[in-house]
Chain A
Amino acid sequence: MELFAMTAHELSEKIKNKEVTSQEVTTSVFQRIDAVEPKVKAYVTLLKENAFKQAEAIDQKIKAGEPTGALAGIPIAIKDNMNLKGAKCTCSSKILSNFISPYNATIIDLLKKQDMVFIGKTNMDEFAMGSSTETSYFGKTYNPWNLETIPGGSSGGSAASVSADEAIMALGSDTGGSIRQPASCCGIVGLKPTYGRVSRFGLVAFASSLDQIGPLTKDVQDSALLMNAIAAYDQNDSTSVNIPAPDYTKSLVKDLTGLKIGIPKEYFVAGMDKEVEQSVREAIKLLEKQGAKIMEISLPHTEYCLAVYYILAPSEASANLARYDGVKYGYRTPDAKDLLEQYEKTRGEGFGPEVKRRIMLGTYALSSGYYDAYYLKAQKVRTLIKNDFEEAFKHVDAIVTPTAPTAAFKIGEKTDNPLQMYLSDIFTISVNLAGIPALSMPCGFTKNRMPIGLQIMAKHFAEETIFKVAYAYEQNTDWHKEKPKL
């Protein structure tokens, strides 16, 4: 097997045993990028020169017998909304197209401590707003399983890079499904950790009460390894939670005896995609065979999640994106007669249609006279949604659902209808509103050979339960070993 096709835990073994060097792995990954990137277009920026410098330094460390991190020498891709000092950080937007990060996000420092190699910055929906990576200012990313379909979004570049073996692992961010839905579309493993588990310092803010960074990987073990690296308290993020992170690899056990898994009836409705339903139902049967107790549960406010999200996320975004005014960094309009016009033209020219739509929606929902009717109302319904999960987790340890209502759809299919696009996140949004962790993993294929995703949720800070369920499922299936033909 080619080095680029291996998982991080396989390569780590080989690097530690001095069977291969980080430079050889990095070379293999960049050869793969040369071969398939023209088709997939997963990256906004490649950091080739720097990556080889890093790999060389790490190889010397290993050769000298110095202590190295658990993921030493492994090449990783970073979504282009996380600051990596000296590299461009564009959020796939014209307004940040020339922005160079003056500092590292906390997660970058943590990965450096692990001696990881940064390959590049991946494409995304502009400012992480979207479910298809079609709104990027730098062009679309293509699903490695079928180049005529979307890779999901907003972390579509990160998911496609891992699926196409253009990266061994990647980081994404998830505000309403932006790690899990692309993981589902691209047939890989994606985890959105508990809100507050991973530092957001240096992640460009979209909706601050919902955003969370997490791993996109080839299997569950890699997901646990990457979580071990990034889950930590950070004094630079006031919403970071000071609870020690466990060793997540200890949860990778096959036995599910006695574990209670809830199946929310609201996620299995009449008219749902037959192939998705069948794959997920079969996955549930397999979990039962592994010893889990399956129970039907209810999350009664599920039907309101999308409406709550599309008030709260744009409201927070409209405030967070107020900083892009062409004064301190980023794009500035070349012709304005005064400061007000400079603001309006800079933003009018610098943002794409979806970002403008959400800024408008959020500004409207927060504006005088509408605040109570929209923003406050949505916050109250958010409480009801959160309560649904709290009640459910009194009875079950984990909840299993489909990740997305369908497999990856055709490019351009939903770009003219925002509401149709928003419905792609119907099964993932509730998790962000409740702040709980959830993982998506491959659980089958459609008859057109497109991956289907299984979503596993647990209560706050119960990532270990998720890993346990996911590992037990993965050890009894081969979906994660399937590769797209590119």
Chain B
Amino acid sequence: MKITKKEVEYVARLARLALNEKEKDKMTAQLDSILQYVDTLNKLDTNNIEPTSHVLPLNNVWREDVTRPSTSREEILANAPDQAEGFYKVKKVIE
């Protein structure tokens, strides 16, 4: 086994993903078979190979720090599940 149900529970917590028991069992089996497949990469020696994160050379893009019009607060908050006084409203965070 490449991955256990306990590890699936741990990763689900990291990913902030609630899974029920049935989902956990299915996920464990499916991730296990995908990870076994991915193991084929270990056939390759990559010791002296540089990793590629982007295919084209990426440079930092700079611009002058000038103010520009942006989307209004009303437009942004229009999609909020809950709001109050111009802010997003969520469950109490501080005890």
Q: Which of A67-75, A113-121, A352-360 contacts B (4 or more CB under 8 A)?
A: A352-360
Within 8 A of B (CB), among A265-285: none
Within 8 A of B (CB), among A343-373: 343-345, 347-349, 351, 353, 356-357, 359-361, 363-364, 367
Quick check: B15 and A363 within 8 Å, CB to CB?
yes
Taken residue by residue from 13 to 36, chain B's Cβ proximity to chain A (1 for < 8 Å, 0 otherwise) reads as 111111100010001001101110
A-B contact count, CB below 8 Å? 159
Size class of B's contact patch?
A: 35 or more
Residue A147 is within 8 A (CB to CB) of chain B in the complex: no
Quick check: A435 and B56 within 8 Å, CB to CB?
yes
Taken residue by residue from 165 to 209, chain A's Cβ proximity to chain B (1 for < 8 Å, 0 otherwise) reads as 000000000000000000000000000000110000000000001
Of chain B, the residue at the smallest CB distance from A318 is B15
Residues of A within 8 A of B49 (CB): 380-381, 383-384
Quick check: A239 and B56 within 8 Å, CB to CB?
yes
Contact among A103, A241, A342 with B91 in the assembled complex (CB-CB below 8 Å): A342
DSSP majority for the B interface?
A: loop
Quick check: A307 and B81 within 8 Å, CB to CB?
no
Taken residue by residue from 39 to 77, chain B's Cβ proximity to chain A (1 for < 8 Å, 0 otherwise) reads as 011101010011111111010010100000001000110
Quick check: A357 and B31 within 8 Å, CB to CB?
yes
Quick check: B79 and A99 within 8 Å, CB to CB?
yes
Contact among A308, A360, A380 with B11 in the assembled complex (CB-CB below 8 Å): A360
B residues at A contact (CB < 8 Å): 3, 7-8, 11-19, 23, 27, 30-31, 33-35, 37-38, 40-42, 44, 46, 49-56, 58, 61, 63, 71, 75-76, 78-82, 88, 90-93
A residues at B contact (CB < 8 Å): 98-100, 102-103, 195-196, 209, 235, 238-239, 241, 301, 303-304, 306-308, 310-311, 318, 322, 325-332, 336-345, 347-349, 351, 353, 356-357, 359-361, 363-364, 367, 374, 376-384, 386, 418-419, 433-435, 460
